[in-house]
Structure 1
């Protein structure tokens, strides 16, 4: 490909990738982002319905950071592209990577700046893809890590897109020179203490010398791994639907029939859905033998960075360890009919219902309704369909509500008597008679 037609190729990629609306471009001022900014500014000149804004993140890590900010503002001014800059402070703790912290800080800024349904565009290219792939190999990643960077993903309230992934750094550099663009050379890119720079300066030139097509073939590998990962996720999603209990836990007996690799994939998928990340491979491999299959009388658990995996009544739970004080002390909130009440763990509404769907009877005149959490376990309640009333702590056990979840179940009270534990039981004397209008419980927990 001659560098002269790079813009036409990128324009046709953009035509397929993006739709009219707000565009945000990450603009550091370096070669890659300078090329992308130029291409986008030209692109939207000939297309209707787009707005473009450049965002520069000032990390304050380089003595020349202020000069870079000024340069970026001037470039945007010359292109008539609105420019915003945000300063971030990075505090490095031991065993943390400065590269990772700077990247996280950058993406936090992008998240805040991206409008709803907007598109964030970054200038990652084939060489970045190869670097990411090699770093994933160093970390011992599976297909998910090796799928490196996809061209398009959902991000914040919109999408993140990388339209330059099919071009290498040399192609971008040739085009920038042919267009007489100016850009910043970041001297810290020479610092080989950073893994990415070491790969960029020492390893990749050597690989390319031996195999000139290495960036393109590595890109193809990443694409194949991404395809495999999508397929694995589809299978894990089916397994999750089949084995998940309504409270979000996994039924151990339904996991027993799965092969070990398939079970691991399901556990990985389930934990990623619950927490956004997964335990290390070593931790993951302990969940089944040490937690799920532990002795009957044991209370096994696996502690990892996002909480604890526990077993209760033949089910596996992911428990968030950051329990709020409000979940420990008893709390009571008055309830008004047909008025949503925002609680620490979700939104509760008691809706008037004139159909057969009503669950609770209407309150008698002067009968106050409230919702309570953490009621004493000695308090008694009489669920519909049961012979006798029982203590709450016994009912929680019988209905299989895990100890750490009990404090999050809203308990509806008429005066100071238990009328219902939301999603668990409704008490006999508070059930709505079939021929009467009553109340329907609408509970929307925070995920």
Structure 2
């Protein structure tokens, strides 16, 4: 790379993320071969060479996927970066979007690959514009606090730690650096398909936000952090209430709580146990059934997310 070029915009965030981490800890980068994961992988390789593996998930959802995998493998081989890939079947369940199914399959695959290769953490390449898109997408869907909190910097799934070290980095800066440095990457053609709401946000809403509010990334990210803070407080309340109500929730104890705390507890219970998010209408129907559940013979069976909440004797259970 030309020495006159500016530094990789992912370099400083990666260095900050690694500060204080013991040497020798092996980590993985989810490497799609797109612009963002390419810049992150290069920054990670520069910061901790030999302690890194690039993980590529082949979804098989488009003809270009074989080319993405081939490019990713060659890119890593050329630079001496360990590489592993796996194909997944991202079939979606009834009521589930293909995008959600692909995301679910991707996280499971990344976790399995990372565990198999002795990694302590998987790095994802979402950046500041991705965070803004996630918040605007949540607003467009009328999401509650979990959606408005957008993407956390750290989380765990399938027994693996995931991290987003470049969540504050400008996406345009990443592409500019790659183009100036001549580093190759692939462009996923689905990223410009306006049938997807996220792409419409990216192509039409973000330029307007940028023109009117130049600091939009920082201000919207701050709103997401406030939402995340409020959600953590609600989760603490829900966890305390769940201890008092029991698990599975005892109906009689649940009914003592206010409707708001019932809803908060039930959302927490469903999210923690099954990653199930009931709609507003589903939760309202469940609360009405609980309010009417004054006798032992009252029957409850309600569709919630991708399963059903049932009454089983004195408690509520969730079944898929």
Q: Any conservation in 1 of the 2:111–2:160 contact (CA below 8 Å)?
A: no
User: Whose helix proportion is higher, 1 or 2?
Assistant: 2
Q: Any conservation in 2 of the 1:6–1:175 contact (CA below 8 Å)?
A: yes
Q: Any conservation in 1 of the 2:8–2:43 contact (CA below 8 Å)?
A: no
1:235–1:177 Cα change, 3 Å: same
Shift of 1:191: 1.1
- Aligned positions, number: 311
Does 1:11 pair with 2:10? no
Q: Which residue of 2 aligns with 1:307?
A: 308
Shift of 1:58: 1.9
Does 1:209 pair with 2:211? yes
Matches within 5 A, 1:20-35: 20-35=24-39
1:308–1:252 Cα change, 3 Å: closer
Q: Any conservation in 1 of the 2:27–2:119 contact (CA below 8 Å)?
A: no
1:27–1:196 Cα change, 3 Å: same
Q: Which residue of 2 aligns with 1:280?
A: 279
Matches within 5 A, 1:2-401: 3-4=6-7, 6-16=9-19, 19=22, 20-45=24-49, 51-91=51-91, 96-115=96-115, 118-244=120-246, 248-296=247-295, 298-304=297-303, 305-310=306-311, 312=313, 315-320=314-319
Q: Any conservation in 2 of the 1:251–1:316 contact (CA below 8 Å)?
A: yes
Alpha-carbon distance in 2 for matches of 1:265, 1:144: 11
Shift of 1:260: 2.2
Shift of 1:37: 0.6
Q: What SS is found at the alignment partner of 2:7?
A: helix
Question: Which structure is higher in RCO with an 8 Å CA cutoff and minimum separation 6?
Answer: 2
Shift of 1:13: 2.4
Q: Any conservation in 2 of the 1:147–1:222 contact (CA below 8 Å)?
A: yes
Q: What SS is found at the alignment partner of 2:32?
A: coil
Shift of 1:219: 1.2
Name stretches of at least 5 consecutive residues in structure 2 with no aligned partner.
none
Q: What SS is found at the alignment partner of 1:140?
A: coil
1:208–1:153 Cα change, 3 Å: same
Shift of 1:12: 3.2
Alpha-carbon distance in 2 for matches of 1:249, 1:158: 26
Q: Any conservation in 2 of the 1:27–1:37 contact (CA below 8 Å)?
A: yes
Alpha-carbon distance in 1 for matches of 2:308, 2:95: 20
Shift of 1:89: 3.5
Name stretches of at least 5 consecutive residues in structure 1 with no aligned partner.
322-447
Alpha-carbon distance in 2 for matches of 1:93, 1:296: 36
